[in-house]
Amino acid sequence: MKLSYRVLNVFFPATLVISTLVFLAGTVLPALADDTPFAPQTKIRLTIVQWMQSKGQYERWDALGGEYTVSDDGAVFLPFLGSLSVGNRDNASLTTEIAKRLQEKIGLVQPPAVTIEILEYPPIYVVGDVTTPGEYKFRSGLTVLQSLAMSGGPFRATSQQQSQTIKLAGELRDIDHSLLRSTAKLARLKAEMTGATEITFDQTLGVDQPYAAGIYNEERVIFQARANALERQSKALTELRDLLNSEVGMLGEKVQGSEDNIKSIEEQLTSVKTLVSKGLTLSSRQLDLERLLTTYRSDRLDLVTAIMRGRQAISETTRNLEGLYDTRRSEVASELQSEQASLDQFKLKREMTQKLLLDDLAAGGGSTTTDEALPLTFTVSRRSKGQIRQFQASETTALIPGDVVRVVRTPIADRVSQAAPADLPRKTETHASQASQ
């Protein structure tokens, strides 16, 4: 039992040490296996681990470790150690230097284990005769040909010109459709303004007839729907006015009946007053007639008030009925003015687009040399020891972080001049001689 316990005590620390070393070795990227120095703007992760003999385990120094970026001067500022130049150091020498400085600074018996992991390389830049020049992310093993593929390949002026021609032709077609829609809407608005029962469209030659027929049918539907809505509103206001006139007439008849009742009660009250003064009847009869007369007069007053309100409603309905057509004409006039302005803009835009299309076709018609036949030359600009040097590269040239790749199409004339500059005077004289003959 004691023997197995001792075995476990020995086996566990050994396993922990092996596991930790495996972990540290696994954090190093394959790209760091070479002696490539750290380029400026490289983002790294620093991990520092020390074996604690008293605890029998490794401990991470999180206060010193973390993510850092190499400055443009090729240095990294580390807590407790200050600025550390890394411009001419590779991964192994940098980790050794950091461990040595920590050992000297803290006074350790053994230097700590230091590992560096590259999180992000500085980007590369592709410029020149490429489709999409710009900044691209670097990865290990990148070549010039791969950077050309990342930037969309060589710039193809012929293809771009064809795309531009197709785009202008499509824009011109869209403008023609917009002109057709605007013209049809103007015809419908003019018909509404004049009160016509049908729309007269101007038949334009050269337009898509099925598309035009669809636009005309849509405008006819809108025209009929708006006319029906106006007619319904007018009919509703007319019926409301007729109903109010009928009510006012009925109220007038009630007022006439009320006046007859008042007159009859007044005559009865006069007779009763005479009989009461002679003592021939009771005074209560007179009081009843006076109360009834007051009620009839109050009812008459309510009827007169109702008639006045009815006449006011009739006047308001008449104004609404008359203003309905004025409001519609004002709305139509405003829409007509706005649509006329849009039509003028469409016409101007069509003229400009048509001119651009003709110029584009004229410029493309004289081109006889295809871009695909022109060879490519590559130049790489690379920072080295604080200086930038340029050199000619091939498709298989390996790139490093921060490189600038310039792609240039070499015209055939330039190739001829570079290949045989001494032959040009002789050839020129020959051609001149032939021309003079």
State the CATH number of the domain containing residue 243: 1.20.1270
- Measured between alpha carbons, how far is residue 145 from residues 117, 228, 396, 406 in Å? 27, 70, 6, 12
pLDDT value at residue 207: 66
The whole-number average pLDDT for the span 205-234 is 86
How many domains does the structure of the chain reveal?
A: 3
12 in any annotated domain: no
427 in any annotated domain: no
- 116 and 134 housed in the same domain: no
Please determine, for residue 415, whether its predicted confidence score (pLDDT) is greater than 50. no
- 80 and 142 housed in the same domain: no
- 262 and 345 housed in the same domain: yes
- 129 and 214 housed in the same domain: no
Place of tokens 């008293």: 54
- The Cα–Cα gap between 158 and 374 comes to 12
| Poorest-pLDDT segment among 33-37, 198-202, 402-406 | 33-37
Please determine, for residue 160, whether its predicted confidence score (pLDDT) is greater than 70. no
| Residue 83 contacts residue 92 (beta carbons within 8 Å) | no
- 196 and 342 housed in the same domain: yes
- 131 and 192 housed in the same domain: no
- 165 and 230 housed in the same domain: yes
| AA letter at 429 | E
354 in any annotated domain: yes
Three-state SS string over 150-172 comes to HCCCECCHHHHHHHHHHHHHHHH
| Residue 161 contacts residue 360 (beta carbons within 8 Å) | yes
Contacts for 61 with CB less than 8 Å, ≥ 6 apart: 48, 49, 50, 112
Please determine, for residue 14, whether its predicted confidence score (pLDDT) is greater than 70. no
pLDDT value at residue 242: 92
- 252 and 380 housed in the same domain: no
- 209 and 125 housed in the same domain: no
Average pLDDT, the chain: 79
Identify the domain containing residue 72 by its residue range.
42-120
435 in any annotated domain: no
- 378 and 327 housed in the same domain: no
Report the 10 Å Cβ neighbour count for 124: 23
| pLDDT tens-digit map of 31-63 | 434 456 777 888 889 898 887 877 778 888 887
Question: Can you tell me whether residue 175 is helix, strand or coil?
Answer: helix
pLDDT value at residue 50: 84
Question: Can you tell me whether residue 392 is helix, strand or coil?
Answer: strand
- 191 and 288 housed in the same domain: yes
| pLDDT tens-digit map of 110-121 | 888 888 888 888
Where helices occur in 56-156 by DSSP H, the ranges are 91-106, 144-150
318 in any annotated domain: yes
Place of tokens 């006439």: 256
State the CATH number of the domain containing residue 91.
3.30.1950.10
| pLDDT tens-digit map of 247-293 | 999 999 999 988 988 998 888 888 888 888 888 878 888 888 889 98
59 in any annotated domain: yes
33 in any annotated domain: no
